[in-house]
Each structure stands twice: as structure tokens, then as C-alpha cells.
């Protein structure tokens, strides 16, 4: 049996947004599942579109997600090099093979001449096909002009592992360019040569390549190559489900998400869920489960929706599933600066309180800074509070003074605080939404916090009383 070999073959033309990496993930999963190899090949033959540093960025992104490739530009492998611009002699050999068998010819036309053909076709309301203008006696190809494929137009029916049975008529076939006059091959040519040289068994890629697939099939035949299994991924749509995902939809760079404290495992789970599920209701999968359960046959054909809120939810679920020790180890770079003055035990106690609500690590300062620093009194928290804003200053004062006395008497364990605050609730005849909100606001100055007794127990008596006092003075 031939070993499964899949590849991710991005062009280094920009950053990789979370959707862009889905084909990489599926190729990775398929390779792992079959004890095969996952190959990274950088397709850098369009020098005009290349973006400096993009190749490195792609490699960093794959590693950050744990999608380690077995062969690639920076680690080599049995079919190196894996950077197309370093494989030019090899494309020349493949081109020569086609020239020798009469299946490639030098394109003698200037751009203006081709444009004239195009316009004539338009006038005649016919599709423009280059092959209708094949030169009778093409010059010998010396690399100064494009080299074109001499196609063999015919209809095709083929199987796509995701899209099912596809077909196209002969009109989809044309004499496309193999080698450009700048010495670089086209994508259409280079990927076929490389997939063959690198013994790729499964070609997983985006929907934008379906229209050209009949041409690829034609070229496989001309080169007498066995064609790999083709699998076409549906588009990733924006959150509204209408159009193709773009940066404006909030699809950030993978590394930006990592920097914000999204867990690689959650990102991988989220990316897999765009267009794939295992046919059950399960939504959270570990990478091991994904490797076990993934199949091309279960990739849906319709466009998949990118929903950042779902990613946020998923990341929260992965954070909740961590042990406190695991989470604590990940948080080093995310604490608010003031936390540096506090002990590990204190920070762990704070983290234990917010783990339940933490959606991504960079949210940590927003959720925890009041544990480390006295935030300035924010009158809006009372003035904007549905119930508290109805109380007079005197009433607020009274309640705060009673709370002060209650806290003063407490030993500041969660149970004791809880019991005393409940007593006070009864005595004051107030609703929890009034009394507890007021104490919470006074002692945190934050719009939200973990449970009141739990938060107070961590803050300690001195800090809590100091803050109540400050609130009282401000009234
Ligand atoms: N270089 C192509 C791209 O980035 C890859 C397509 C393929 O996987 O064959 O779109």
C-alpha cells in the first residue's frame, strides 16, 4: 500500500488567517490518521505577489498550532527543496518532457495580439480559447516567451473526495501557460510536477481550483501521471453566511489569536469545525480525537461559517477543562503589571476565581486587576445601576456603614463572609441585587467580578475595608 502523503502548499503572499489554515489542518489530520507524512511546500513562483516574511510566518503559524510537518522548506526531507523557486531546473525537465512529446509549444504572440484575439471572441460572443489560435509553426522555445500546454480538449467526469462526482465539457480545457517568460512556472504546472515528484497521494485545497481541474486532469494525462485523490474544501463564509470570509469579518491571523491567549487546541478544534463534524452532536474534540475521527467524506459541501463568538466560546471551554496548575503555567505573560508584587499563591487564588469566566488569556487584566490594585472610584457604577441609582446618598451611606461593621467582625473565610452577608441582608431588609451589588462595587470598582464572598476572601479584610472607606468618603 502506498503511504498517505498530503501537503499544504500555500503561496507566501500574505498572512494566514484562521480559515486559510483549514486545508493545512485537514491535510495534517489525514496524514496522521494513516501514519503518513504531511508536507509543507511553499509556492513562491509569483514573485510580484510575494510578501517578505510570509513564508516564515506560515511556518511559525503551523508550529504554533502544533501542526508539525514532516518535510518542509526549513527542515528538508527526501524530496527537497520544498521551496518552488529552488526547483526551477526540475520544472525545465518536466517542460522538456512535454516539448519532446509535442505537448508544449512556445507562445509567439505579444500581449497585444492575445488581447486582440480576446476582443474578437467577445465581439463574436464566443468564449475566448487560446487553443483556437495555436500557431502553425511555433518557434523553438528559448525561455524568452511563455511555454504553453498543447491541450487535448475533451469532457471529463471525476470524483472529488468531498464534492462527489464532478464533470466539465471540453470547453473547460485550454492551452494554458506552463512556464512564464520570467523563468518561473505557473501554479497550474508547478503543483502538478511537485505533487508527482513528492509522491503526494491527496491534494486538499480550496474551491477556487475546481474550474481549472479539467486542465489539470488533461496535464496529468499528457505527463502520464497517476492523478492523486482530489479533495475540494468548501469556502469559508463570513459570520452572516453570505459571502466569502475576509479580514473585515474579524478573521485574524493565527498568531494574533495565539498572542491573545487562545489555546492551540481550541483553535484547531474551531478550525476543524468549520465544514466538518463527525456526524454526532459532539463539538469539543481533542487533537487525538480529531485524528481518529476525521474523514474527507464528512466534510460538508456547502460553505462553512466563520463565527468568532463560537471560537470564543470554544476557547473558554478549553480553558475551563484545564487544571488550575496547567492554566496558571500558561498565564505568565498575561497578568496585569501590578500582579508582579503578589505571591504565586495569591495569583493562583485569583485565577481559581476567574477560570470559569476567562475566555482568552489576554482578558486576564480586565477580569482581575481589582485584585491587585485599588481602582479609582467610578461613580457610574452606582449611578448607572438599575436599583442603586434609586437610593439616596444617605441610604447608600447607611448600607455601606452596616457592611463595614459586618466585614470588620468577619474572619474573612468564604463561609463566614457568606453567613454574615446573609445576616445583614435579612437585617437590612434589602434585596441581594441592592446590598450585594453595593458591596461588590465598593470593594472592586469593577463592572463585574466573581462571587462576592469568594472575592472578598481573596482580597482580605484590610483591602476590603479600605475600599469601603474610600467609597464612603466619595459619597
Ligand atoms: N499555492 C496555492 C494557493 O496558495 C495552493 C493551492 C494548492 O493547494 O494546490 O492557493
- Does residue 407 register a pLDDT over 70? yes
Is the shortest distance between the CB of 10 and ligand 1 below 6 Å?
yes
Neighbouring residues of 251: CB distance < 8 A, sequence distance ≥ 6 = 17, 18, 19, 236, 245, 306, 308
Interval 324-364: pLDDT, tens: 999 999 999 999 999 999 999 999 999 999 999 999 999 99
Q: Are 83 and 55 contacting, i.e. CB atoms less than 8 angstroms apart?
A: yes
pLDDT in tens, 276-314: 999 999 999 999 999 999 999 999 999 888 889 999 999
Q: Check residue 286 and report its DSSP letter.
A: -
Measured from the CA of 205, which atom of ligand 1 is nearest? 8
Cβ–ligand 1 distance for 388 under 6 Å, the answer no
C-alpha cell belonging to residue 4: 498517505
DSSP annotation of 250 reads T
The sheet with strand 229-233 has its strands ordered as 37-40, 5-8, 202-206, 229-233
Q: Would the pLDDT of 238 be above 90?
A: no
Class assignment of domain 87-233? alpha beta
Angle between helices 414-428 and 452-459 (to 10 degrees): 120
Contacts 24+ apart (CB under 8 A), 106-109: 106/138, 106/139, 106/140, 106/141, 106/142, 106/145, 106/146, 106/147, 106/148, 107/135, 107/138, 107/145, 107/146, 107/147, 107/148, 107/177, 108/135, 108/138, 108/139, 108/145, 109/133, 109/135
- Summarised one tens digit per residue, pLDDT across range 56-66 is 999 999 999 99
Poorest-confidence range of 6-20, 24-38, 299-313, 409-423? 6-20
Q: How far is the CA of 236 from the centre of ligand 1 (A)?
A: 16
Q: How far is the CA of 8 from the centre of ligand 1 (A)?
A: 8
Q: How far apart are CA 66 and CA 21, in angstroms?
A: 12
| Centroid of ligand 1 to alpha carbon of 33 (angstroms) | 23
Query: How high is the pLDDT of residue 244?
Result: 80
Percent of the chain past pLDDT 70, that is, above it, reads 99
User: Quick check: CB of 187 below 6 Å from ligand 1?
Assistant: yes
pLDDT digits (tens, 9 = 90+) for 97-153: 999 999 999 999 998 999 999 999 999 999 999 999 999 999 999 999 999 999 999
Name the percent of the chain lying above pLDDT 90.
91
- pLDDT for 2 equals 85
- Residue-wise burial string across 92-120, b where 16 or more C-beta atoms lie within 10 A, e elsewhere: eebbeebbeeebbbbbebeeeeeeeeeee
Quote the cell numbers at residue 129: 480559447
Q: Which residue owns the Cα nearest ligand 1 atom 4?
A: 10
Is 259's pLDDT higher than 90? yes
Q: What does the domain layout of the chain look like in residue ranges?
A: 87-233, 327-370, 374-474
Average pLDDT over residues 44-49: 92
- Minimum CA distance residue for ligand 1 atom 2: 10
Task: For 322-337, give the DSSP string.
Answer: S-HHHHHHH-TTTS-G
- Whether 50 is in the pocket of ligand 1, judged by its Cβ within 6 Å, is no
3-state secondary structure at position 227: coil
pLDDT tier for residue 250 given thresholds of 50, 70 and 90: low
- 129 Cα: distance to centroid of ligand 1 (angstroms): 24
Mean pLDDT along residues 399-421: 97
The answer to whether 364 and 347 have CB atoms below 8 angstroms apart is: no
Residue 62 · residue 18 · CB < 8 Å: no
| 239 phi and psi angles, rounded to 5 deg | -60, -25
Give catalytic residues, as residue numbers: 247
Q: Which residues pair with 229 in a beta bridge?
A: 202
Atom of ligand 1 nearest to the CA of 204: 8
Does 87-233 match 374-474 in CATH topology?
no
Residue-level pLDDT at 264:
97
Q: Are 400 and 438 in contact (CB under 8 A)?
A: yes
Nearest atom of ligand 1 to the alpha carbon of 7: 8
pLDDT given at position 330:
98
Question: Is residue 10 predicted with pLDDT exceeding 80?
Answer: yes
Q: Is 22 in the pocket of ligand 1 (CB under 6 A)?
A: no
More confident call, 465 vs 245 = 465
Would you tell me which CATH number, out of the four given (3.30.70.1290, 1.10.1370.30, 1.10.10.350, 3.90.550.10), belongs to the domain 374-474? 1.10.10.350
3-state secondary structure (DSSP) of residue 414: helix
For residue 205 and ligand 1, the question of a CB distance below 6 A is answered with yes
Model pTM score: 0.93
pLDDT in tens, 152-205: 999 999 999 999 999 999 999 999 999 999 999 999 999 999 999 999 999 999
Distance 186 CA to ligand 1 centre (A): 11
Mean of the pLDDT values across residues 226-251?
84
Query: Among the atoms of ligand 1, which is closest to the Cα of residue 10?
Result: 4
Q: Count of residues for the chain?
A: 475
Average pLDDT value over all residues in the chain? 95
Task: Give the CA-trace dihedral at 272, 277, 280, 283, to 10 degrees.
Answer: 30
Amino acid at each position: 500500500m502506498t503511504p498517505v502523503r498530503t501537503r499544504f502548499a500555500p503561496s507566501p503572499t500574505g498572512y494566514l488567517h484562521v480559515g486559510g489554515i483549514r486545508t493545512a489542518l485537514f491535510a495534517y489530520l489525514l496524514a496522521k490518521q494513516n501514519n503518513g507524512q504531511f508536507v509543507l511546500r511553499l509556492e513562491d513562483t509569483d514573485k510580484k505577489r510575494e510578501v517578505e516574511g510570509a513564508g516564515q510566518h506560515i511556518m511559525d503559524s503551523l508550529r504554533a498550532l502544533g501542526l508539525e510537518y514532516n518535510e518542509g522548506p526549513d527542515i528538508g526531507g527526501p524530496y527537497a527543496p520544498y521551496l518552488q523557486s529552488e526547483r526551477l531546473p526540475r520544472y525545465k525537465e518536466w517542460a522538456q518532457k512535454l516539448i519532446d512529446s509535442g505537448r508544449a509549444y512556445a507562445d509567439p504572440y505579444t500581449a497585444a495580439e492575445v488581447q486582440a484575439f480576446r476582443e474578437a471572441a467577445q465581439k463574436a460572443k464566443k468564449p475566448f480559447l487560446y487553443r483556437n489560435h495555436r500557431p502553425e509553426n511555433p518557434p523553438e522555445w528559448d525561455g524568452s516567451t511563455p511555454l504553453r500546454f498543447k491541450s487535448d480538449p475533451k469532457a471529463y467526469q471525476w470524483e472529488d473526495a468531498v464534492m462527489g462526482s464532478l464533470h466539465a465539457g471540453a470547453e473547460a480545457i485550454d492551452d494554458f501557460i506552463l512556464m512564464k517568460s520570467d523563468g518561473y512556472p505557473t501554479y497550474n504546472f508547478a503543483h502538478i510536477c511537485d505533487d508527482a515528484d513528492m509522491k503526494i497521494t491527496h491534494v486538499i485545497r480550496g474551491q477556487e481550483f475546481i474550474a481549472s481541474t479539467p486542465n489539470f486532469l488533461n496535464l496529468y494525462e499528457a505527463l502520464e501521471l497517476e492523478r492523486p485523490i482530489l479533495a475540494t474544501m468548501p469556502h469559508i463564509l463570513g459570520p452572516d453566511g453570505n459571502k466569502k470570509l475576509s479580514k473585515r469579518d474579524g478573521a485574524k491571523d493565527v498568531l494574533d489569536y495565539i498572542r491573545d491567549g487562545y489555546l492551540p487546541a481550541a483553535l484547531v478544534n474551531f478550525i476543524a469545525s468549520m465544514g466538518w463534524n463527525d456526524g454526532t452532536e459532539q463539538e469539543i474534540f481533542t487533537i487525538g480525537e480529531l485524528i481518529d475521527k476525521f474523514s474527507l467524506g464528512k466534510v460538508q459541501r456547502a460553505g462553512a461559517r466563520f463565527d468568532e463568538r463560537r471560537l470564543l466560546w470554544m476557547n473558554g471551554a478549553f480553558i475551563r477543562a484545564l487544571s488550575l496548575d496547567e492554566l496558571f503555567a500558561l498565564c505568565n505573560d498575561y497578568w496585569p503589571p501590578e500582579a508582579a508584587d503578589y505571591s504565586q499563591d495569591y495569583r493562583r487564588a485569583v485565577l481559581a476565581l476567574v477560570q470559569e469566566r476567562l475566555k482568552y488569556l489576554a482578558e486576564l487584566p480586565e477580569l482581575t486587576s481589582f485584585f491587585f490594585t485599588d481602582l479609582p472610584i467610578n461613580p457610574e457604577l452606582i449611578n448607572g445601576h438599575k436599583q442603586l441609582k434609586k437610593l439616596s446618598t444617605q441610604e447608600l451611606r447607611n448600607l455601606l456603614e452596616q457592611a463595614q461593621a459586618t466585614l470588620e467582625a468577619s474572619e474573612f473565610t468564604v463561609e463566614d463572609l457568606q453567613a454574615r452577608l446573609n445576616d445583614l441582608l435579612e437585617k437590612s431588609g434589602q434585596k441581594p441585587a441592592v446590598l450585594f451589588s453595593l458591596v461588590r462595587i465598593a470593594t472592586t470598582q469593577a463592572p463585574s467580578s466573581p462571587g462576592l464572598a469568594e472575592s472578598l476572601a481573596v482580597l482580605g479584610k484590610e483591602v476590603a475595608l479600605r475600599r469601603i472607606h474610600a467609597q464612603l468618603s466619595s459619597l
